[in-house]
């Protein structure tokens, strides 16, 4: 594992899926933090609805005349209509706000193009006038894994980005439909051949964040992981310079 990945583990961050995991991975971007908060809010409302409905059903089954108050009368029909409508409105406003927040791209400082192939990813950094950084990212076979590596999630070339920076990702497919998805960053967008989709993220802390193609794209669909390594700006500049030197050599 890299130093940034070990740093995240030492602080207790869960940036990778775990066996029998029921919740989300720890958020590394403001959008994912909002997604988790909205999910928790909905779950709280859901538990209240389930408890209330189960209590009414039990009272209707065990009470002598209780069923009349649940099925007959204008008042109960008004209540059964207004309460769900109010709940839906209460849910809709933060949901719409979150949807617009996820689609909005504000002054990206870095643009990366991700191209899905059967069955690997290609990345292009085209913001630099002298050289365009291009490389392919293949899954590391199980036989080549080192201690601490994650099976089916490690790649030979990671997508390196700086922290505290607005990053735009242009996504497309070279052959069939793929899906670029990184749960910790709140990113999931289809890679469609002949079409250029865009998404963005803002990484708040260093770390290594894992994702996979989330669209069934053929026999080896489960063997094209995505690894995003977020580093400090100084480390990112050093990485860009080293990649550019390799191209010139």
Per residue in 205-245, pLDDT (tens digit) is 999 999 999 999 888 888 999 999 999 999 999 998 888 77
Domain end call among 46, 81, 103: 103
Residue from 63, 57, 230, 93 nearest 158 by CA: 230
Burial class of 125 by CB neighbour count within 10 A (0 to 12, 13 to 18, 19+): buried
Distance CA 206, CA 168 (A): 18
In a domain, 209, yes or no: yes
Q: How many helices (H) and strands (E) does the chain have?
A: 5, 10
In a domain, 5, yes or no: no
In a domain, 84, yes or no: yes
The pLDDT score that the predictor gives to residue 68 is 61
The model's pLDDT over 79-132, given as tens digits with 9 standing for 90+, comes to: 888 988 999 998 999 899 888 888 887 788 999 999 999 989 999 998 887 777
Which stretch, 76-85, 130-139, 143-152, 200-209, has highest mean pLDDT?
200-209
Domain check: are 211 and 89 in the same one?
no
Distance CA 236, CA 240 (A): 6
Domain check: are 36 and 82 in the same one?
yes
Average pLDDT over all residues of the chain: 86
Rama region for 73: left / alpha / beta (φ>0; ψ in -120 to 50; rest) = left
Domain hosting 57: range is 30-63+71-103
Q: What is the pTM of this model?
A: 0.82
Domain check: are 136 and 227 in the same one?
yes
């Amino acid at each position: 594992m890299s130093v940034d990945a070990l740093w995240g583990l030492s602080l207790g961050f869960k940036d990778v899926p775990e066996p029998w995991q029921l919740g989300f991975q720890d958020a590394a971007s403001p959008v994912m933090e909002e997604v988790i908060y909205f999910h928790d809010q909905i779950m709280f409302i859901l538990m209240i609805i389930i408890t209330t409905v189960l209590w009414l059903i039990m009272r209707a089954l065990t009470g002598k005349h209780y069923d009349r108050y649940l099925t007959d009368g204008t008042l109960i029909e008004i209540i059964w209509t207004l309460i769900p409508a109010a709940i839906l409105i209460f849910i809709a406003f933060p949901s719409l706000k979150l949807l617009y927040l996820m689609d909005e791209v504000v002054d990206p400082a870095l643009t990366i193009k991700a191209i899905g192939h059967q069955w690997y990813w290609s990345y292009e950094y085209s913001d630099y006038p002298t050289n365009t950084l291009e490389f392919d990212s293949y899954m590391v076979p199980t036989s080549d894994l080192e201690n601490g590596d994650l099976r089916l999630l490690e790649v030979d070339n990671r997508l390196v980005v700086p922290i505290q920076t607005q990053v735009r990702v242009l996504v497309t497919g070279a052959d069939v439909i793929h899906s670029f998805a990184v749960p910790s960053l709140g990113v999931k967008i289809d890679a469609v051949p002949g079409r250029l989709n865009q998404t963005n993220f803002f990484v708040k802390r260093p770390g290594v964040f894992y994702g996979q193609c989330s669209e069934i794209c053929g026999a080896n669909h489960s063997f094209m992981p995505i690894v995003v390594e977020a580093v400090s700006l100084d480390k990112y500049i050093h990485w860009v310079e080293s990649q550019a030197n390799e191209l010139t050599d």
